[in-house]
Amino acid sequence: MLPVLDEPNTTVNLPNKPRRGRPKKPSADALDTREALLRAGMLILTESGFTRSGIDPILKSIGVPKGSFYHYFSSKEAFGLAVLERYRRYFEAKLDGFLFDEAFSPLERLQRFAQDAQDGIVRHEFKRGCLVGNLEQESSLLSEAFREQLQATYQSWQARVATCLLESQKQGEIDLQGSIEETSQAFWIGWEGAVHRARLVKSIQPLSLFMNFFTQAIQVKTR
């Protein structure tokens, strides 16, 4: 005897029409994973740079499979650019916290930023430097997109220092021989060089030497 088949269900479930409007937001887990990748990338790239850093150590450090990585980033370069953008925003917030703190004079704000950076490099045993400075040293090996973003980052940082120096000049703390824009550019050129030298010799002496030199060069001379 043949088995009895169930009656077919004649009710047709039509799919819901998609609503127009904004695209679906990524889930909290997706955002957390992407942020974890960027944070891990910042840590490793500040130590090893971009060209020498592989994806595998970054994934291993946070337990993310490689397949998931390519869900968030199409390539290592796309990841590197996203890390650079994330670092830029992080460092801009850090600079703003120091350079626009009205509890201190403008020149003191710049000095406090430098002291905090010195404390940080010692805390990390001179293994971590500045991600932007590391990438700058690799610029001949990087794409034009990297170089453009690095220049935009420096311009953003220089503008913040220039604002601080302008306020310092108005308060009579400093007396500049050149323009504020050139002085702020000179600060970052010298500062990044001092960071690299500090990592080389494993001492904050280059950072202290640069800050003393820079401060004495711009400070109003008193008799």
Has residue 106 been placed in a domain? Answer: yes
Classify residue 189: in a domain, yes or no: yes
- Model pLDDT for residues 115-143, shown as the tens digit of each residue: 999 999 999 999 888 899 989 989 989 99
- Give domain status of residue 201, yes or no: yes
Residue 1 located in a structural domain: no
| pLDDT tens digits, 143-199 | 999 999 999 999 999 999 999 999 999 999 999 988 999 999 999 999 999 999 999
What pLDDT does residue 54 have? 85
- Within-domain flag for 144: yes
Whether 95 is covered by a domain: the verdict is: yes
Measure Cα distances from 21 to 17, 25, 141, 177 in Å. 12, 12, 42, 56
How would DSSP label each residue in 111-153? HHHHHHHHHHHHHTTT----HHHHHHHTGGGS-HHHHHHHHHH
State the residue range of the domain holding 93. 86-218
Region for residue 21 given its phi and psi (left: phi exceeds 0; alpha: psi -120 to 50; beta: otherwise): left
* 81 within some domain: no
Full-model pTM: 0.80
* CATH number assigned to the domain comprising residue 163: 1.10.357.10
- Number of domain units in the chain: 1
Domain-located, residue 35: no
The contacts of residue 119 (CB under 8 Å, 6+ apart) are none
Model confidence at 92: pLDDT above 60: yes
pLDDT at 24 over 50: no
pLDDT of residue 177: 83
